[in-house]
Structure 1
Amino acid sequence: MADTDRHPLFMPLIALGGLVFGFGLGFSHMARPEVVLDFLQFEDIGLLFVMFGGALVSGTAYFLAPKLLDGPALTNRRFERRLKSFDNNVLVGGAVFGVGWGLSGICPGAAYASLGVGNLPILWAIAGMFIGAYAQGLWRSRDDASDASPAGTD
């Protein structure tokens, strides 16, 4: 879908959502890796309440939006859940994500918010995320290329 198919308020609302998300992460101290690491070591359960609050708001939106909106909101697409099958990619990707989260003490969204609160060393983790995503893309394209090659060729 082209950007021209979207409502003119789509991009400003995305920016507003990012601002609210970043402010919330900073306000709740979830943009500080030491707070996240304390949660992962079961020393501070504050992150659990932040995650529950986010899940409650988004769950409510996903439940109510299809019932309250006559048509698609801003994107010209139906508002519905995207079902993803649980396969090895999800399992391995989740495990790798968890290891990275535990090593850096921060997840991708909070890493960017962490820059906003002055945590410049987090740039190392952000660089690692970009390199890891690029490496995964190379890995996936290598697998796709081998799947597309004709049978019997070396």
Structure 2
Amino acid sequence: MNRIVILRISASLLAGIIFGFGLSVSGMIDPARVRGFLDVASGNWDPSLIFVLGGALAVAIPGIALQRTLGRPFLDDRFHLPERKEVDRRLVIGSAIFGTGWGLAGLCPGPAIAGLSIGLAPVFLFTAAMAAGMLIHDRFVASVTK
């Protein structure tokens, strides 16, 4: 393996560890806490995760500004950004499914992967269902919609 590949893998691993640690420390891997944050209408709203969102913006906004000034990333030949810009039916339906699932389960993909470390059965069930959904999409839906 050449040096650049090792650096890419190392940078990806370090970023994943930092991201997972941040999700754990912030409470984003606790489905009950996430549902409490998303339940703004119940009168029992838990606003604590707003600080997680604020922290994410504090990192993302300067990161995007930096990305726009660079010609290319340090360890790659180009930025791999989404090419499609339009809001279409598939995007809206997929977003609605994602949001509904997030609200019902209190988990989304990143926190679910990080949450595997705490060994809760619902997290394993969610992750297995997520993997099954990805496989079904890749095998059946993606081939029909292309």
Whether the TM-score (by the shorter chain) exceeds 0.5 is yes
Bigger drift between 83-92 and 103-112 goes to 83-92
The higher radius of gyration belongs to 1
Q: 1:78 to 1:102 in 2, by over 3 A?
A: closer
Please tell me the root mean square deviation across aligned C-alpha atoms, in Å.
2.4
CA distance in 2, matches of 1:81, 1:62: 14
Displacement of 1:72 after TM fit?
Answer: 3.2
SS in 1 for 2:66: helix
**Compared CA separation, residues 71 and 98, structure 1 to 2 (3 A):** closer
**Residue matched to 2:112:** 111
Matches within 5 A, 1:33-72: 33-42=31-40, 43-67=45-69, 69=70, 71-72=72-73
Q: Secondary structure at the match of 1:121?
A: helix
- Cα drift, residue 70 of structure 1: 5.8
Counterpart residue number, 2:86: 85
- TM-score w.r.t. length of structure 1: 0.79
Unaligned runs of 5+ in 1: 145-154
Name the one with the larger helix percent: 2
The answer to whether residue 140 in structure 2 is matched with residue 134 in structure 1 is: no
Deviates more, 1:43-52 or 1:70-79: 70-79
Gaps of 5+ in 2: none
How far apart, CA to CA, are the structure 1 residues paired with 2:20 and 2:51? 17
TM-score, length-scaled by structure 2: 0.83
Q: Which moved more, 1:86-95 or 1:69-78?
A: 69-78
Q: Where has structure 1 moved over 4 Å in runs of 4 or more?
A: 3-7, 78-83
- Report how many residues are paired: 141
